[in-house]
Amino acid sequence: MVARRAKAKVATFVSRALTDKAFIAAELKERAPGANPRQVLCEDPSSAFAFVVMSMTGRANGSPHDHGSSWAIYGQATGVTEA
């Protein structure tokens, strides 16, 4: 039950961030070609919580993967995801 409430709270913050134009402009900057698209904005080692943004330029391909015993909440600020 606590995990469900925590996930819902994090999802609310992610949703707000993805619609905040100032946040997007400040944190989701275009990266140089070949640069690492992953950036950790904040991290709490005691709880293993991390807020990570990915700023992709152009087409990106991913595949299903396992987060093990952890969980992730994804959101998309711009662009299109195709299944």
pLDDT (tens digit per residue) in 13-70: 999 999 999 999 998 888 888 889 899 999 999 988 888 988 887 778 888 888 888 8
Residue 15 resides in a domain: yes
- 76 near 18, Cβ under 8 Å? yes
Residue 64 resides in a domain: no
Kind and range of the H or E element at 41? Answer: strand 38-44
pLDDT at 2 over 70: no
Residue 33 resides in a domain: yes
Q: Based on the structure, what is the number of domains in the chain?
A: 1
Q: Structural domain of residue 50, as residue ranges?
A: 2-54
pTM of the model: 0.71
- The CA distances from residue 54 to 4, 5, 14, 24, 31, in Å, are 24, 25, 13, 11, 10
